[in-house]
Structure 1
Amino acid sequence: METTPSESSSTPSTTVPKKKQGLGWVEWLRGWMYIIYEMLFQRIMASHLENPLSLPPINNLTCIVTGSTSGIGLQIARQLAESGAHVVMAVRNTKAAHDLIHKWQSEWTGLGLPLNIEVMELDLLSLESVSRFAEAWNARMGPLHVLINNAGIFSIRGPQKFSKDGYEEHMQVNHLAPALLLILLLPSLIRGSPSRIINVNSVMHYVGFVDTEDMNVTSGKRKYTSLVGYTGSKLAQVMFSSVLHRRLPAESGISVLCVSPGVVQTNVARDLPKIVQAGYHLIPYFIFNAQEGSRSALFSATDPQIPEYCELLKSDDWPVCAFISQDCRPTNPSEEAHNIDTAHEVWEKTLEMIGLPSDAIEKLMEGEEVRCRYGERQE
C-alpha cells in the first residue's frame, strides 16, 4: 500500500546523530594526564627490563625495519641482527645505512660470522616508492617474518606540509605509507607465517582525533598544528591496525600489534621548542634513550607468547588490536581508539587514499593479485 503525503508527514523523523568534531575536554584532559603519568613513571614501570633487552636466538627470522638509520629504528635493526636475524634496513638514506652496517660489522664480536643485514631504498613521502619497494621484495618470493613500521616524523616547526601525493606529511609518513607497505607485503608475511606486523606508535595518540572527512586537516573545521597532525596520524594507525587485526583470518598466522616506545630522546627532540628541549635536559632521568625505547618493539617481535595473546583478543572480539606499552606489557589504547565506527571509516578512507580496492585483504588472502594505483606508472 502506498503512503500518502499526509501519512508520511506525520511519521516521526529519525534523528541523525551529530558527527563528533573532536575530543571532549574530559577526554583531552584524561589523555594528557596519561601522557604525563607515562613520562614521570615510565622508568619505574620498566625497571624490570634489561637494557639492552635480552633476545633469544632468531637465526630463522627475516625482519624489515623502516627508518633504521637513527634513533629507535637503528637500535632495533642492530639488536635483531646481533641476535641472528636477517635484517632489511628500509630507508631513504641508503648511504647512511651502508655506513652503519660497515661500522656494526667492524665492531661485531659474535661467532665470527658477519651480521646478516642488507639495505633497500624506501621513501615514505612517496607512495610510489612504497609500491616499488614492495614489488621488489615480493619478487624474491621469500618469507617475511617480522615487519616493523618504525619510521615516523613529528615536524614541530614550520608550516603545514604536504607530500607530492597531496597528503599532509604526518598522516602520510606515520600512517598512510606504513599501511600501504604492510598490505602490499601480506603475500610475503603469509609465506613467513607465523609472522608479525609491528607498528611503532606513540603514547601521544591518547590526545589524537581523526576526522575521516578531513584527513589532511585543511577544511578549517580544526586549526592545524603539528601536534594535531602528529597525534591524529598515530591514532589513525591504531584504528587501522585494529580493523586489520579483525579482518585477517586466524589461518593467516599474522599477528598485528602497535607498541609505545615511551617518551624517548630521539631526533624528534631537536625540532622541539627551546623551552621544551630545556625540559628534556633538566629531567634526563625520566626520558628514555633510544635503546630503552626500542625494547617494546623488540619484545613484540620476538616474545613467543605474542601470537597467542593476539589470537585471544581476536577470539574475544576485542575492539582494538594488541597494544604493548613501553614496559613490554599489554595495555589499552585511548578511549577514542575504541570507537569502532570511526575505525571502520578510517580503514575505508585509508584504502581509498593509498589507491587500493576495498576488498584488498580478501583478495590477497585468496592468493589473488591486487593492484595499487601508485604502482602503475602512467605512460
Structure 2
Amino acid sequence: MATTSSSSGDNEASKIKKQCLGWIEWFRGWFCLIYEMLFQRIMASHLHNPMPLPPINDLTCIVTGSTSGIGLEIARQLAQAGAHVVMAVRNTKAAQELIQKWSVDSAGLGIALNVEVMGVDLLSLDSVARFAEAWNARSAPLHVLINNAGIFSIGEPQKFSKDGYEEHLQVNHLAPALLSVLLLPSLIRGSPSRIVNVNSIMHHVGFVDAEDMNITSGKRKFSSLMGYSNSKLAQVMFSSVLNKRLPAESGINVLCVSPGIVQTNVARDLPKIVQSTYRLVPYFIFNAQEGSRSTLFAATDPQISEYCELLKADEWPVCAFISQECRPANPSEEAHNIQTAYEVWEKTLEMTGLPSDALEKLLEGENVKCRYGHEQQ
C-alpha cells in the first residue's frame, strides 16, 4: 500500500510543470556571468587580436546586424580575409557607407573586397521571409549564416512587434530561427556549411516556458533582463534541436557562441549608472573586435565541423557552444532540458508560420509555404 501511494505521488510530481529556475540554478547562472566578466580577458589572453583567419576566398557569408558593434567587426574581417560577405541589415545606407570606407582602407593593402548589402528588418517576419526568398532565388550557395543581430532594451517596458511578439523574443530568437530554416536550401548548396548564432552567457539565467514564450500569461512579471535571457536560452534550445534533426549527409552544422561581455551600442540603452560602470571597468570588458573573435573562429575554423559531428554522433543533448575564449563550453543546465527544447522547437515553428514538417520538406527539396513573406506583400 505504501509503495503504491509513493508511486502515485511520484507520478503526480512528474506532472507538475517547472515554473522557474531553482535557486541553485539561478545562483549558478549569475556566478557564471560575474565570473566571465571578471576573468574573460585572462581566459582569452592566448588569443590574437584581431583573430587570424584561414583562407576563406571561397566562402559566402551572410551576417545580420553588421553596421555596428560585433557584427561590423565580423563582416569587415571576413571581407578583408577574402570572403563574399552579405550585410543583412535594416539600415542599408549605413552599410553602403561602411563598404566605401572599408574599400578605401583595403585599397592601400591591395585587397579587393566582395561585399554587398541586402535589407532585412528582424522586427518584421515578413521582411525576414522575403530576404530568404530573395537569396534562395539566386540558386547560389551559402556557406555561413551568422545570426548576429540582437537587442537588449535594459529597463524598458515590454514591447511587441507588429507581428505580436515580444521584441527580445522576435529579434533574438524567432527571426534568426525563421531565417535559418528558410535558408536551408542555400546552405545545402553550400555544404559543408554552418549556422552560427551569436548567443550570450546570460542564457544561464534564462528560463523558457514554451506555453508562455511571449510572457503575457501573467504567471511571470516581465523585465527586460528576463526578455533578453529567455530569448537567448530559447535560441540555444532551438539550435540544439535543429542540429540534431539535420542529418549528417546534409553537411550543415549549427552552433552557438558567446562573445563575452562586450562594450557595444547596447550601452546606449543602459541606465546612466550602468553606463558609468562600463566606463570605469574597461579592462574587464571586451571591445567589439575582441568580442568578434569567437564568432569568427566558429565561422571559419576547419575543425569546428568535426567537433559538431562528434557531438551529434554521441547524441549530446545540446548543440556545440563556443566560449569567448574560442573553446568548447557547456551551455546552462536548463539548456539540456530536452523536453522543453522540443516544445520550444514546435512552438517556434508555429509562431514563425512554418509547418511542423518544414525541415523534412526542405531537406527533400520541396517547397515550404510560410505564413510570412511574398503573400503578405
What is the TM-score when the length of structure 1 is the normalising length?
A: 0.95
Q: Deviations over 1:340-363 (max 9, x none)?
A: 000000000000000001111111
Determine the structure 2 residue equivalent to 1:67.
Answer: 65
Equivalenced residues, count: 369
2:328 maps to a residue whose letter is P
Give the SS at the match of 1:90: strand
Determine the structure 1 residue equivalent to 2:329.
Answer: 331
Kept in 1: contact 2:130–2:374 (CA 8 A):
no
Q: How does 1:200-279 map to 2 (within 5 A)?
A: 200-279=198-277
> Which sits farther off after the overlay, 286-295 or 111-120?
111-120
Give the SS at the match of 1:377: helix
Give the SS at the match of 1:148: strand
1:328 maps to a residue whose letter is C
Equivalent-residue separation in structure 2 for 1:146 and 1:330 (angstroms): 19
Mapped pair 1:91 → 2:53: no
- For 2:179, which of 172, 175, 181 is the aligned residue? 181
Determine the structure 2 residue equivalent to 1:26.
Answer: 24
Equivalent-residue separation in structure 1 for 2:117 and 2:263 (angstroms): 25
Equivalent-residue separation in structure 1 for 2:110 and 2:284 (angstroms): 38
Instruction: Identify unmatched segments of 5+ residues in structure 1.
Output: 1-10
Give the SS at the match of 1:118: strand
- For 1:190, which of 176, 188, 191 is the aligned residue? 188
Equivalent-residue separation in structure 1 for 2:8 and 2:186 (angstroms): 54
What is the TM-score when the length of structure 2 is the normalising length?
A: 0.96
Equivalent-residue separation in structure 1 for 2:324 and 2:155 (angstroms): 27
1:256 maps to a residue whose letter is V
Deviation for aligned residue 1:376: 4.4
Determine the structure 2 residue equivalent to 1:172.
Answer: 170
Give the SS at the match of 2:87: strand
Give the SS at the match of 1:167: coil
Kept in 1: contact 2:63–2:86 (CA 8 A):
yes
Deviation for aligned residue 1:56: 1.3
Q: How does 1:1-379 map to 2 (within 5 A)?
A: 15=12, 16-109=14-107, 112-377=110-375
Equivalent-residue separation in structure 1 for 2:8 and 2:332 (angstroms): 37
Deviation for aligned residue 1:114: 2.3
The verdict on how the C-alpha distance between 1:12 and 1:288 changes in structure 2, with shifts beyond 3 A counting, is closer
Deviation for aligned residue 1:157: 3.3
Equivalent-residue separation in structure 1 for 2:188 and 2:157 (angstroms): 41
Give the SS at the match of 1:103: helix
Instruction: Identify unmatched segments of 5+ residues in structure 2.
Output: 1-6
Deviation for aligned residue 1:110: 6.1
Equivalent-residue separation in structure 2 for 1:110 and 1:295 (angstroms): 24
Matched-pair identity in %:
79
Kept in 1: contact 2:67–2:89 (CA 8 A):
yes
> Which sits farther off after the overlay, 266-275 or 95-104?
266-275
Deviation for aligned residue 1:277: 1.4
Deviation for aligned residue 1:377: 2.4
Determine the structure 2 residue equivalent to 1:3.
Answer: none
Larger radius of gyration: 1
